[in-house]
A and B are shown apart, each in its own frame.
Chain A
Amino acid sequence: MVLKTEHYVINVGPQHPSTHGVFRLRLTLDGEVIVDVEPIFGYLHRGMEKIAEGRNYTKNIPLTDRLDYLSSMINNQAYCMAVENLLNITVPERAQYIRVIMAELQRMASHLAGIGFFMNDIGAFSTPLLYMFREREKIVELFDMACGQRLNYNYMRFGGVSMDLPEEFLPALKKLLDGMPGFINEYDKLISTNEIVLVRAKGVGILPKELAVNASAAGPVLRGSGIKWDLRKNQPYSIYDRFEFDIPTGEIGDTYDRYAVRLEEIRQSVRILKQAIAQLPAGETMAKVSKLIRPPASETYTAVEGPKGELGFFVVADGSENPYRWHVRAPSLINLTALKEMLLGWKVADLMAIFGSIDIVMGEVDR
């Protein structure tokens, strides 16, 4: 006798511990096997792009903090660079270096959180996450020293950064960088060789090269699929052409590759930071920029390599105090577009592993 079975629909989210915020997935399941997925966005939508068009350029900097709140510094940097392009402002050398230092620290902090949450998603009882947060905390302390904030930094300004680094910053940073390789090896030992992590992540949720490109995936999701594309190398911005670092790539684009790319990127960030400290010049941290900004009628798309991928700001100026159009190319949202292809045929438990390996922040998916 053949048993009659039925597919059934299950909602993962909007409130689910593993959707990294308020995200909803409508799954159709056959037992535990996923036969259809419909991602539904918008539960955190704040109309941020529209709001930005009603505020002047400077007042929009805090909005960028709230996009990907795990990498506020890089969001600041991308937006400031966009407006600097409109205004043709040259940023002083020291400020450029400080920006790179902040961006790389932020990349480390974001990847640490990303890996930690990924481990939580595959069921590790918080231990790896809390180990990651041990180091992330040190980075957050550094940000706190520099700008007095711990999450929404709002540190960068058009023409530089809001204030110079305090005296205690560099010694603390050096101490962090000295310890970091040891800590990264510790994560490696705890995670990369863990048999259960391997069976949960290796070969799971493969995103093939072609699909990754066609879905315009970016960041570790793209590089995990084996494509060596990093804006810091391929379209060097700021002063990234002055540093030596490698672009890690994965082999087959599975969940494990995406994790491994992130871990290696933390190592590379340490390399960049060491060079940046050694080269850090003295001098101004702010160019001369008028208080009220009115860029001439023009438009720009300026992108940086965020921790999650290409983070771009498309800003159209019409000569007034407010941007005419303000649009964010958010890597989290675009990386999600390949989610369905990655999920079909896998099980409910894999959903969390695959979803966690994309490393999204809902703040920038729903703007």
Chain B
Amino acid sequence: MALISEGRFIEDAWRRLADEEALPRSGKVIVSLARLEHAVAHLEAGVALGVLAPNTTEPEALAAALPRLSLISIVFPAFADGRGFSLARLIRRAGFTGELRASGRLLADQYRHALGCGFDTIEIPDDLAERQDESQWQAERAAHARTYQRGFVAPGSILEARRKAAAK
């Protein structure tokens, strides 16, 4: 798997923990949604906790664990399945400020959709990363200077720009 952050491929500091693996004493681990409650109760305080959430997850299912979570990784079963974008918005609305990751066969062309919905990082399979090199992710990140929607990408809203222009 390849991880993209701010338009660059970076090393992944997180490790996916299989359900049968013992909880580690250190590091950063991603557990399944099924194991989340157990991990919150038993994981040592120094270990960073992440969860892998299907795109059909109800935000309420994460609510209790939210203060303990440092990462939520939302699964995109197919790049054309946009449910993960709405789930990301709901998770941000619930107050989550940790790393929000999109995991699946996402395309560079969807980078701004992901950023606009509150994702920080994108995790894609290696074969896809070979076809979509860093330059494509960076280009897509830079290509959308303006959007009509106001979201999580701070600059760039056309409405804000119009307002500023009108105030001058």
Asked if chains A and B come from one complex, the reply is no
Residues of B within 8 A of A (CB): none
Residues of A within 8 A of B (CB): none
